Amino acid sequence: MLILAGILVMVIGLMLRFNALLVVVAAGFVTGLAGGLSINDIVGAIGEAFVKNRYMSLFILILPVIGLMERHGLRERAEILISKINAAT
């Protein structure tokens, strides 16, 4: 039952509107620690998944692009777009 603590971390982190990527990584670490893995084992599992899964590298490459887009107003533009859609209904 303690292994499900990662889900609690996800729910609380997203409800508090923390960065989703950091919340997911934190939940993974909490789940790994609750499951009895050491920090080295958790980081090793992430590294192994990175090496085996080529799409993980695409994810890492896209992160700086998302950061730049958010810095230049992506969130504000999305809010404006959503408010226009809500006004249409």
Q: Which residues contact 34 (CB under 8 A, 6 or more apart)?
A: 2, 3, 5, 6
Instruction: Write out pLDDT tens, residues 63-75.
Output: 788 878 878 888 8
Instruction: Write out pLDDT tens, residues 42-86.
Output: 999 888 877 787 776 677 777 788 878 878 888 888 888 888 887
